Structure 1
Amino acid sequence: MKFIVAFAALLAVAVAVPIDDPRAAQITRYESDNIGTDGYKFAFETSDGTARQEAAEVKNLGTDHEAIAVRGSISWIAADGQQYSLNFIADENGFQPEGAHLPRA
């Protein structure tokens, strides 16, 4: 009887261990809208908790000051089990990231 209880406990622990191999993650959502030469947007989420979205537009199209402006965010679950997130803007003023550690429930 002790063997059955120990085996059941060991089996429960083995099943509860998450797969740490990011190559095993599956895409659960994917959206893409390439609107031509004046911008784009996309978003995706994966089964391992990674999510990313990004949108871009061309500013001052056809002028000497033409520039692409990109806004986006990415979040992921790190090896320490915590969720992290990074929001960013990349435009004529450079790359402007803003990060956060999000407590998990």
Structure 2
Amino acid sequence: MKLFIVLALVAAAYAAPQQNPQDVQILRYDVNNAGLDSYSFAWELSDGSKHEEQGQLKNQGTENEAIAVQGQYAWVGPDGVTYVVTYTADENGFQPQIQQGPGGAVPSAVVASLLG
């Protein structure tokens, strides 16, 4: 029984996040609101997370007025792999393209958590 408890504690310590959320630092934060018809922003954190996005108003003043957005965000998964989602969002909806660093497919659990 003691061996089981020791193994459980070792497993819990191994599975623990490598960095406490309060230790994450903002490395970059840029915002550009260029009037009412466009914007952009970018941020990056010390844990490897980042997000960049640009948006622009299309068909201004018409019945088909909409914002067209493009961007990408990334994070380092618990497996140490950097995952990247590149996307567009416009009158056709949100259209993500999920990528991973060199060497493999994105695990189905990651895809399911993003899309569903």
Would you call these one fold, judging by a TM-score over 0.5?
A: yes
Distance in 1 separating the partners of 2:79 and 2:73: 17
Larger radius of gyration: 1
- Whichever residue aligns with residue 79 of structure 1, its letter is P
4+ residue segments displaced more than 6 Å: none
Q: 1:31 to 1:102 in 2, by over 3 A?
A: same
- Which digits, 9 at most, give the CA deviation of each residue in 1:16-74, with x for residues without a partner? xx843233210111111012221210001111111110000000000111000010100
Distance in 1 separating the partners of 2:70 and 2:42: 12
Secondary structure at 1:86's aligned position in 2? Answer: strand
Secondary structure at 1:23's aligned position in 2? Answer: helix
User: Aligned runs of 1:85-104 on 2, under 5 Å?
Assistant: 85-103=84-102
Q: Do the aligned residues in 2 keep the contact of 1:73 with 1:86 (CA within 8 Å)? A: yes
Q: Does 1:22 pair with 2:21? A: yes
Give the TM-score taking structure 2 as reference length.
Answer: 0.70
Distance in 2 separating the partners of 1:75 and 1:20: 17
5+ long unaligned stretches in structure 2? 1-16, 104-116
5+ long unaligned stretches in structure 1? 1-17
**Percent identity for Structure 1 against Structure 2:** 46
Secondary structure at 2:80's aligned position in 1? Answer: coil
Distance in 2 separating the partners of 1:86 and 1:22: 22
Q: How many pairs does the alignment contain? A: 87
Give the TM-score taking structure 1 as reference length.
Answer: 0.76
Q: Do the aligned residues in 2 keep the contact of 1:83 with 1:103 (CA within 8 Å)? A: no
